[in-house]
Each structure stands twice: as structure tokens, then as C-alpha cells.
Amino acid sequence: MVTTTTGTTPLVRSSGPDLHRKRLNTWQAIHAEVLRRIRSGDWPPGELIPTEQMLAVELGCARATVNRALRELADSGIIERRRKVGTRVTASSARRTTLRLPTIRNEIETLGARASYALTSCETTLPNLAAMRALHVGADEPLLLVLSRFSADDRPHCCEAIWLNPRVADLPDAEVFALEPPQEWLSRNLPVTQSDVSIIAEAADEACARSLEIEPGTPVLTIERVNTLHGTPVSFARHHYPPQHRLVFDI
């Protein structure tokens, strides 16, 4: 075993069985490990933690995976990230309470199911009243409307309608959303922030019922999300779930 120091807490690099044991492959696992070290006192308040590259080497994962985990912790106020300075554990014991909803794909995989995504339609159209209010646009301002469906082990899990404002962000061609859900594309390509979440109980309309394979008028759980880019609303999504759906989120 070789120990190196980085100007922060010593970073231990293991070999053999220890390295295999420490190898973590998902951002959720990295998130949990960093949080464990903070809560255990390994990295106390105000501590400058190892760099993304150092953590990637130690934990046996891609640097992008570490970056995603640290962004989530920063959004929750647990760590503070400053360019050219580094990442520190927040000095104050207090932290922001933030509702964190996972992507639908992560939500399905957390249940132990196989997630699949299918694009239903993608078109430029005028907004409805809800989209106008959420995105602060006028009735004559065209938006991109993407409709899609998610399945868990080939069973309907959720249908999504998301309005995207092309004047706020440079959006890709429709072919991209045939392969990747808009919410995932936004999170991967733009520094978006989830600014508003609403939870609604309502009756399924014809399109929603057809997508979820239920009868029109059946009560469904609807989650509305607004994402902002530099403080300006860029997307307004409505996710519809069938009866008996269990919503799990982090605070």
C-alpha cells in the first residue's frame, strides 16, 4: 500500500483486493462514499477534499462520474466548489433543504428494473397556458414539445411531456431526443438547476391513458418540474405516473 499526501487529507491508494473492494462505478455510489466520509468526520467542516482526478483514481471510476456526484452534493449545500481553489466541506453545520428528484431512468433502475425510453413525438408548437406561465413566454412564442414514455421491465412506468424554450438554450435536433430523454440531455449538456417542483393528483386524459395503458379518467400522480439556465426557465416538464406509484426523493 502506498500513501501520498495532496495538501489535504492523505489519500491512500490500494492495490490487490482492497482496490477491487473500493471500486465504485456509479455517481450515486460516489455520492454515498463522499457523504460517508464527511459524516464520519474523515473530512470535517472547512476541509479541502481531494480533487476529482484523485478521487477517480482512488475509487476506480471516470472523472465525469465523480464530477456528477460532487455537483449533487454542492447543490445540496454539503460542499462548496470554487474554481482554482478546490472543493471544501461546507464550514457551517447548516445546509439547504432541497427536494431532489432523480431522473426517471435512475428512478426505475433504483427499483431494480430495466429502464427503457421511447420518443412519442417532437414538434415545434405554440405553448399551452401552463407552459406559458412556467417558462414566462407569450402565447405567440413557439416552443419545442417532446412527448415520451418510460417503461420498467416493459411495463408502463411514466409518460412525459416537456416544453423546451429554444431562445434560452441551443437545443439539438429531434433525432437526439429519439435516443436520449430531454431531462438527461439538459443535465449532461447545460448547467441547469431544478428550481420548482409541484406534485398533483389528477385524472388521466386520452393521451396519458393510452401511454400508460389505463382507462381515461383514472387518477394519476403528476409531477411538474421547471429547470432554469442562469436563472431563466428553460424547460417545463409534466411526468404522469399510473395508480399506486410510490414517489421516493432525497431531501
pLDDT in tens, 205-219: 999 999 999 999 999
User: pLDDT at position 56, please?
Assistant: 92
For residue range 132-149, what is the model confidence (pLDDT) as tens digits? 999 998 999 999 999 999
Does domain 2-89 fall into CATH 1.10.10.10? yes
Residue 248 pLDDT class (50, 70, 90 cuts):
low
Proportion of the chain above pLDDT 90, given as a percent = 54
Look at the chain and count its residues: 251
Average pLDDT, the chain: 84
Helix 27-40 vs helix 52-59: crossing angle, to nearest 10: 100
Model confidence over 93-147: pLDDT tens digits?
444 444 556 789 988 988 889 999 999 999 999 999 999 999 998 999 999 999 9
Residue 11 host element (H or E): strand 11-13
Q: Which residues pair with 241 in a beta bridge?
A: 221
Comma-separated ranges of CATH 1.10.10.10 domains in the chain: 2-89
Q: Where in the chain is the domain with CATH 3.40.1410.10?
A: 104-241
Question: Could you tell me the CATH superfamily of domain 104-241?
Answer: Chorismate lyase-like (3.40.1410.10)
Residue indicated by cell numbers 489519500: 11
User: Is the pTM value of this prediction over 0.85?
Assistant: no
In DSSP terms, 147 is beta-bridged to 121, 161
The residue type of 211 is: S
